[in-house]
Each structure stands twice: as C-alpha cells, then as structure tokens.
C-alpha cells in the first residue's frame, strides 16, 4: 500500500514513521527546514521508550511522489483548504483520502440522507474548494488522539496516545477502510472503527471547541480551564449548546458533559494546541472548531450565545495579532447547497 502524508508535521510525521516501521510504502509532503532535515537525516520520532529514524521520500511538490493508494491530510483546516488543488497529482481513480484533522470536516454532510444531505459548510470549505478538488466520495473520516510536537526540524516527540478513530462518511463498511485500519495497526497504532465517525468527531470537538479558545484567551493550561469555576462553567455552557446541535443532527454522545470536562482536567497542565500556536505566532485554527459549530447552530435553529461570544472574542484577538487566517473574497461563493443562516429569534424578557 502506497501512503502519502500530506503535512508531515507533528501528527503527520508521527503517523509516517509508525506506518513506515510497519512495512508500508510511505512518502511525505513537507516544507521548509523540516523538509530539508528529513531529506538529509530522515525523520526521527522520539518516544518515552525509544528513538526511531526512518528514511522516506519527501518533497514539497506532490508531483514528485505520484499517485497513491491513500493520502493522509494532516494539515490544519485552513491549510488543507489552501492545499486542496495541490493534492491532485497524488490522486488516482481509487485513491482514498484520510482527513486526520481536528474540528468539523468539510465533507460532514456527505453520505447523510434527508434534508441535510450534501450540504456544504462555508466556514471550513468556502467556494467548495475541497469538495470539488478532492471529492467527498474519496474520504475516510479520522479523529486524532495522540499528542505530539516537533522539537526541532526533522525530530518529532510523542507525548501520549496512539488511537485513531476511523469511519466511512456513508456509515458503511468498506474494503478500503478495513485495509487502512490494518495498516494503522501494523504500524503499532490503534485504529478504532465507528459505524458513524461523526459521533467520535463530536466527542473530540466537544472539548476542543471550548478548551482551545478559552485557553488561548486566558493563557491558562487545560487543568486550570477545566477546574476554575468561571472557565469550567463557560466551557460547560458551550458544550451544552454544541450537544443540542449535534443531537439535532443525529449524533450520539457516549459520555456526559461532566465526565468529558473531568477527563480534560485529568490530563494536567497541558497547553492546548491553540495556545501553543498563539505563543509561537502561528495562525489559529478557529473556524473548524467554532465557526462551523456556529454555522450548524444556525442551520438547526439552535441558539448559541456562549459559543457566539467566545468565537467573537477569539476571532478579534487573532485578527489583532494577525493570526486569523481568512479566505479570499472570491472563495465565499460556492456551487453547492450551503448551510444558510437563520434569523435568531428575539428573546422574551421575563416580567419584573
């Protein structure tokens, strides 16, 4: 099986080394000093028990790598949108595309029946760029649980976790899903197959949509955000709004809000990915974690005052610092059915 990791950063690089170690034919798309280090010395993964270095073909230009059986997109949502057209040289007639990303994916409504079938999310795929360039029929959904970081160019540190949630958007079993799960397992990672991967996407998103922006706004670590009464209460209210949206869309939450927050608190003094990006001056992943949830709230006629407030604050903070990636105006008009916003109903004031 030929697998290309598009975005061989912390998560993509971890997957690349593990898959290569499992005997797969792996290539990497990377850039900058990280790419040059990989070309010169290979890609090194440092775990708590060992250090592994693997040599793999690596390039900034996908045309150098050719068509693949599987392409794993391990970019942030705004980066994946920008790179959508560049993936084409990697795509053969039967190439599967695994979206190993956080947040609401651009293909979310593909494979669903009823009123929401094939709706497009403007917040994460304006202009239907990924929908048209990649095609939702290629997608295998993926949730990412390992924590990793690039410590220096060409070197990735594995902090904890080895599980990946996997599932077909149409909720069907498939040979390609089975084969990819077997490849993940052969690499020493743990695939978990879901009949509806959206359930797992929401479980991961449930924490990310509140803990990430709150930590970025307050500079507090995860244990503080999840235990200090004010921020814990805010996170809880955001999660309840999100749960209402998800359940209207048919999602099943396998744990309750308090257990999810307590689980986050138990991770300890972890700096969320958004806080790390803020500290390093990197663009913040906002729309896939919050903007899309707000958009889906409008679609399902769900009021989201807590999500709206935090989204507005983190958007403004990121914009002031030049860290909010925005889409060009011409991208905001798409071809497919969009999730149109609805008017918020005015709240009635209680009699005093």
> Edge-to-edge strands of the sheet including 43-46?
51-54, 43-46, 155-160, 147-152
How far apart CA 4 and CA 16 sit, in angstroms, is: 8
CB 103 within 8 A of CB 131: no
How far apart CA 308 and CA 103 sit, in angstroms, is: 16
How far apart CA 18 and CA 161 sit, in angstroms, is: 13
How far apart CA 138 and CA 93 sit, in angstroms, is: 9
Strands in the chain per DSSP E: 2-6, 25-29, 43-46, 51-54, 58-59, 68-73, 91-100, 139-144, 147-152, 155-160, 163-167, 190-193
Sign of torsion over alpha carbons 170, 174, 176, 181: positive
How far apart CA 291 and CA 208 sit, in angstroms, is: 12
Tokens of 273: 């990915």
Q: Which of 219, 204, 197 is nearest to 146 (CA)?
A: 204
Place of tokens 């598009």: 6
Q: Is 88 a catalytic residue?
A: no
> Edge-to-edge strands of the sheet including 163-167?
58-59, 25-29, 2-6, 68-73, 91-100, 139-144, 163-167, 190-193
How far apart CA 324 and CA 311 sit, in angstroms, is: 12
Say which of 2, 39, 190, 204 is annotated catalytic. Answer: 204
- Active-site residue set: 204
């Amino acid at each position: 099986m030929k697998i290309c990791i598009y975005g061989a950063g912390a998560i993509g690089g971890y997957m690349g080394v593990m898959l290569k170690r499992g005997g797969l034919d792996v290539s990497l798309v990377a850039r900058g000093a990280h790419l040059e280090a990989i070309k010169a010395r290979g890609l090194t993964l440092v775990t708590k028990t060992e250090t592994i270095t693997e040599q793999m073909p690596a390039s900034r230009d996908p045309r150098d790598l050719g068509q693949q059986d599987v392409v794993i997109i391990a970019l942030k949502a705004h980066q994946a949108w920008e790179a959508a057209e560049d993936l084409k040289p990697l795509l053969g007639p039967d190439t599967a595309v695994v979206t190993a990303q956080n947040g609401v994916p651009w293909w979310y409504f593909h494979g669903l029946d009823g009123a929401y079938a094939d709706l497009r999310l403007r917040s994460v795929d304006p202009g239907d760029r990924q929908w048209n360039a990649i095609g939702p029929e290629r997608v295998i959904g993926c949730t990412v649980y390992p924590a990793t970081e690039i410590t220096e160019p060409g070197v990735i540190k594995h902090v904890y976790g080895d599980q990946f949630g996997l599932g077909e958007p149409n909720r069907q079993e498939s040979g390609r899903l089975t084969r990819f799960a077997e490849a993940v397992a052969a690499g020493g990672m743990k695939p978990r197959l879901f009949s509806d991967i959206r359930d797992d996407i929401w479980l991961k998103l449930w924490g990310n949509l509140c803990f990430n922006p709150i930590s970025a706004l307050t500079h507090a670590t995860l244990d503080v955000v999840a235990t200090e009464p004010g921020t814990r209460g805010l996170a809880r209210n955001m999660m309840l709004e999100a749960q209402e949206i998800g359940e209207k869309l048919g999602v099943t939450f396998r744990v309750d809000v308090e257990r999810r927050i307590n689980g986050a608190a138990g991770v300890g003094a972890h700096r969320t990915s958004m806080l790390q990006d803020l500290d390093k001056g990197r663009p913040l992943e906002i729309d896939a974690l919050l903007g899309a949830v707000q958009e889906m709230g409008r679609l399902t006629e769900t009021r989201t005052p807590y999500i709206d407030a935090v989204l507005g604050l983190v958007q403004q903070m990121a914009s002031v610092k030049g860290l909010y990636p925005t889409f060009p105006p011409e991208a905001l008009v798409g071809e497919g059915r969009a999730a149109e916003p609805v008017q918020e109903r005015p709240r009635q004031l209680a009699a005093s």
